[in-house]
Amino acid sequence: MPGRGGGAARRHGTGSRLVLDRVSFDAAPGEFVSVIGPSGCGKSTVFNILAGLDSPDSGRVLVGDEASSGTPHSAYMPQKDLLFPWRTILDNTALGLEVQGIDKREARRRARELFPIFGLSGFEDARPFQLSGGMRQRAAMLRTVVQDRELLLLDEPFGALDSLTRTEMQDWLQQVWQQYRWMVLMITHDIREAVYLSDRVIVLSARPATVRREVRVDLPRPRELSVVTSPEFVAVEQELLEVLHEESRRALAEQESAPR
């Protein structure tokens, strides 16, 4: 299946430290998969490897049956929107295409076509500081989507938003995803967000990370906001919460017992 990853990775500082230990999971075309785990367990390292920004010490990323460095197959949206303040919103959203070597006029045309779908019509010539947090995130996601990659990597896309805006953005993302059916991998620290948006949730263990559990979310779509109070939703949320708390406690215990 597309998006299979595995192997180990190390970060370098005062020395080498194992971050990922035989992490392996997959995603299928049109599937929405979330990745959760204790803080610092290596979730962003997984995404950096999938995006081709880091190289694992062992293992590989497969797209179909072919090994991939990540770059030609995925588009990566980091935690911060990273919109350039001196560029208009249209120019910001066309930037990824321009980096690929596409003519600026054609890049702007492709990006402009998506502005109505992303709720940004009329803001093509605005600057980032003129947009709300939610609109900036939609612009950042448009910049990611317009690159037309097989896999979208979303790293805490709504983490910096207030609670109400975050809920609105989750509902909006679900609607747009159902229209386009992208293959999505999303990192989140919000268990409820993971359950609400995902077909499956991957739980990583404390570092060095392994796949601790994989939970399928068998809730009908489209999902209304009221689904979060249903017994089925609560049961999945509770299962994930218990596993995550167990791993967080283990990570804390290991930190306290480590030599100083």
pLDDT at 67: 60
The whole-angstrom separation of Cα 189 and Cα 244 is 10
Question: Based on the structure, what is the number of domains in the chain?
Answer: 1
pLDDT at 110: 96
Whole-prediction pTM: 0.88
- 33 in Cβ contact with 242 (< 8 Å): no
pLDDT at 53: 83
Q: Answer yes or no: is 94 within a domain.
A: no
Q: Per-residue DSSP letters for the chain?
A: -TTEE-SEEEEESSSEEEEEES--B---TT-EEEEE-STTSSHHHHHHHHTTSS--SB--EEETTEEE-STTTEEEE-SS----TTS-HHHHHTHHHHHTT--HHHHHHHHHHTTTTTT-TT-TT--GGGS-HHHHHHHHHHHHHTT--SEEEEESTTTTS-HHHHHHHHHHHHHHHHHH--EEEEE-S-HHHHHHH-SEEEEE-SSSB-EEEEEE----SSPPGGGGGSHHHHHHHHHHHHHHHHHHHHHHHHHHHS--
Q: Answer yes or no: is 259 within a domain.
A: yes
Sequence-separated (6 or more) residues with CB below 8 Å from residue 153: 47, 50, 51, 74, 75, 76, 77, 185, 186
pLDDT at 3: 42
The whole-angstrom separation of Cα 72 and Cα 74 is 6
Stretches in the chain below the pLDDT threshold 50: 1-13, 70
pLDDT at 186: 96
Sequence-separated (6 or more) residues with CB below 8 Å from residue 60: 5, 6, 7, 67
Q: Answer yes or no: is 247 within a domain.
A: yes
Q: Answer yes or no: is 6 within a domain.
A: yes
Q: Answer yes or no: is 102 within a domain.
A: no
Which of 62, 215, 36 is CA-nearest to residue 151? 62
pLDDT at 74: 87
The whole-angstrom separation of Cα 144 and Cα 93 is 8
- 24 in Cβ contact with 190 (< 8 Å): no
Q: Answer yes or no: is 242 within a domain.
A: yes
Task: Find the domain containing 25 and state its range.
Answer: 1-73+155-161+201-215+231-260
Q: Answer yes or no: is 191 within a domain.
A: no
pLDDT at 257: 65
pLDDT at 1: 39
Q: Return the structure tokens found at 159.
A: 């983490």
Q: Answer yes or no: is 173 within a domain.
A: no
pLDDT at 62: 77
CATH number, position 55: 3.40.50
